[in-house]
Structure 1
Amino acid sequence: MNELFPPDSPAPASSTAPSRWQRLGLRTQLALVFGSLLVGVTVLMSLAFGELLRWRMEREVSASLHAMASNAARQLSDGLFSRAHTVEVLAASPELWIQGLEAPGVGALLNRARSLTPTSLWIGVADAEGTVRSATDQVLVGLDVSDRPWFEPGLQRVHVGDVRASSPAMSALLPPAADGAPRRFMDFAAPIRVGDLTQGVLCMHSSWEWVRETMQTLQQADSADRQIGLFIFDRRGRLIHAPGDSLEPLLALDQRLPVAHTVSADTADATLQPVQVARWQDSPQSFLTATVPL
């Protein structure tokens, strides 16, 4: 049975009240919609521009790091070439050896050659059997050096040895380093030939100090604040130079070259990505790392 309301009775209230959005006018609704779209687009563009700016800054810093590493590699290559060339020229001068490896003028010539390269600790001449015949300040003269790592390669070709510590016997015969630290040096050797006969080997021990001095001149004044450092690793990935006093702490942490690499004696066979983000042992942070084969 239906109950009818009297004609003059008020209609019942609606069961659902209009929402706040519905109570807004059309103009206000449009303004809110377009305003929200504008805010969204602005946020997206800000994020995009921020990412683009970060990418550009990373590219610029990467280029700067790679340029610094390339400059250091070039400077060191020039230094290595200069020392190797000095040894090669001396060894390839038959007029010096025609009277024998222990002729009176040979020792004087070796002393003059050492004075031209202040970082040279010792220059000596060994015969084909490995006995030192002449040397600067007569150091090691008469001793057998056939077991030294430079002798056998030096009989065959121009040889540039790895960085190594001086032996106790050699250290006792050479003046101590200015800072008292154990001396490290590189061997540069070349065969002495007169005609078709190989008479011996000429070898120069060059102090590793020149590398430290070269790297210091390349380090920028604000490098420490920007956490930029120049490091040298050998072809096996072992650290052999670090800025300041950081070498020993990094060696204690067994710091290796922190990027994938393949480096042989021929740098043309080296495979190194120019710049990578890498993790170093002394920091939880990752760093942009530029690598250049030397």
Structure 2
Amino acid sequence: MPLISLKLKKYFSSRGVAVYLALAFSALSLLLTFILVGVIEISATDSIKSRIGNSLRELAAQTSDTFDRDMFERYREVQLMAARYDLNTMPDDALQHRKQLETLQESYPYYAWIGMTDLDGKVIVSAKKVLEGADASGRPWFKNALHGIYLGDVHDAVFLAKLLPPVTDGKSSTKEAMRLLDIAFPYRDKDGRVAGILATHLSWQWAYDIEQSIVTPSDQRRNVESIILNKDGKVLLGPGDLKNKTIDLPSLKLAQTSPSGYTAETWPDKKRYLVGYSASKGYESYPGMGWIVLVRQSEVDAFMPLKKIQQKVIWTGLAAAVLFSFLGLIVARNIILPLRALAKSAQRIQKGEIADIPTTPGNNNYFEVQALTASL
């Protein structure tokens, strides 16, 4: 090591101005590169954050709106079905009613079950005779419908768990037990009195398919994920590590106070995310379930384009530094050649070789060389 240091010291001391000019050019190139990288980071970070955040906000709002509109269709469909005049003939024409229920179920594949009960909660007719004769008086949807609450939030299948096959979770091939949404309305007899409850169980597979249709393959490649939560913050749909967990995040609180927006926050996995949020507002007669839609993308993925630009600038700056080093050597050589000639002349003067000293400076030399030549 001392030998190498000695050689480097000798090299730089012998090279003089040319080497130091080349190093100065390289240093200035690198300094400019790092300044540009810093400027890009400062100026572009907020712009990219705003652009991606608004994109996630729009995606969350679109997902929430699609859920509301689709639920409105199901809500209105069951409501109109319960209001049909021919339901007041129950239970005299069970076969005809069963056919009507089966037609409704076939028209929309996400109806996992459709049936009608009497006032005691006994299922008197259902599509494909599933659960006919069962006692549903203890089920929340039966009690709620009698008290004017026609929607039930997502829950695991109870009676139907053994009768219906498991479904995929929508994001992989993993099978999971069926989960359901309840829509139930009272129906009336000929005299206008409540005679029982018309109820449907909507498969939660419906939500997976809607989410997949909105979050496109291009979004998935950017690792964009959507999370659906109920009003209490319980994850109804989302990544496996969050499913059925209750989370408490700033984005959830913001969604409860404003229609939509975006924020940056740290999640339970200790990673930073940009998060777009939107709250369910309902649609027309459908009052909404109070769901909250969050669409997130990790900051690492979100700012990856910026990092790539910075890397390109750095590599370009390094290449420029090498190039300017060579240019610096060439420029420095042209600068010091006259000086080197004067230095040699001075050495000859010291040795008494005065006859070889140029007495007239060249017209192409710059002022300092001309002054030194005249002095010699």
* The two structures share one fold, judged by TM-score above 0.5: yes
Residue 289 of structure 1 is matched in structure 2 by: 275
Distance 1:120 1:52, change over 3 A: same
AA aligned to 1:198 is: V
CA distance in 1, matches of 2:207, 2:111: 12
Shift of residue 46, structure 1, vs aligned partner? 8.3
Output aligned runs, 1:77-88, within 5 Å: 77-88=68-79
Shift of residue 116, structure 1, vs aligned partner? 0.6
Shift of residue 148, structure 1, vs aligned partner? 0.5
Residue 250 of structure 1 is matched in structure 2 by: 242
Residue 144 of structure 1 is matched in structure 2 by: 135
Output aligned runs, 1:1-294, within 5 Å: 50-94=41-85, 96-101=86-91, 103=93, 104-157=95-148, 159-167=150-158, 169-177=159-167, 180-194=175-189, 195-242=191-238, 246-247=239-240, 249-251=241-243, 254=245, 256-259=247-250, 261=252, 270-272=256-258, 274-282=261-269, 284-294=270-280
- For the 8 Å contact 1:156–1:190, the answer to whether it is kept is no
Secondary structure of the corresponding residue to residue 274 of structure 1: strand
- For the 8 Å contact 2:165–2:178, the answer to whether it is kept is no
The structure with more radius of gyration: 2
- For the 8 Å contact 1:156–1:191, the answer to whether it is kept is no
AA aligned to 2:162 is: A
Shift of residue 187, structure 1, vs aligned partner? 0.8
CA distance in 2, matches of 1:231, 1:144: 35
Shift of residue 286, structure 1, vs aligned partner? 1.1
Q: CA RMSD in A?
A: 2.8
Residue 31 of structure 1 is matched in structure 2 by: none
The answer to which of 68-77 and 176-185 deviates more is 176-185
Shift of residue 134, structure 1, vs aligned partner? 0.8
AA aligned to 1:130 is: G
- For the 8 Å contact 1:255–1:281, the answer to whether it is kept is no
Shift of residue 257, structure 1, vs aligned partner? 4.8
Shift of residue 50, structure 1, vs aligned partner? 4.5
Shift of residue 235, structure 1, vs aligned partner? 0.6
CA distance in 2, matches of 1:101, 1:91: 14
AA aligned to 2:187 is: I
CA distance in 2, matches of 1:210, 1:231: 15
Shift of residue 230, structure 1, vs aligned partner? 0.8
- For the 8 Å contact 1:158–1:191, the answer to whether it is kept is no
Structure with bigger helix share is 2
Shift of residue 177, structure 1, vs aligned partner? 3.5
CA distance in 2, matches of 1:224, 1:108: 42
Q: Deviation string for 1:216-238 (max 9, x for gaps)?
A: 11112233442311110111001
Shift of residue 175, structure 1, vs aligned partner? 4.1
Residue 20 of structure 2 is matched in structure 1 by: none
AA aligned to 1:78 is: R
Shift of residue 99, structure 1, vs aligned partner? 1.4
Distance 1:109 1:286, change over 3 A: same
Q: Percent identity?
A: 22
Secondary structure of the corresponding residue to residue 53 of structure 2: helix
Residue 305 of structure 2 is matched in structure 1 by: none
Q: Deviation string for 1:240-265 (max 9, x for gaps)?
A: 101xxx32x2248x4615225459xx
Which of 1 and 2 has higher RCO (CA within 8 Å, sep 6+)?
Answer: 2
Secondary structure of the corresponding residue to residue 162 of structure 1: strand
Residue 11 of structure 2 is matched in structure 1 by: none
Aligned residues: 242
Distance 1:133 1:222, change over 3 A: same
Shift of residue 59, structure 1, vs aligned partner? 1.3
CA distance in 2, matches of 1:172, 1:50: 56
- For the 8 Å contact 1:150–1:187, the answer to whether it is kept is yes
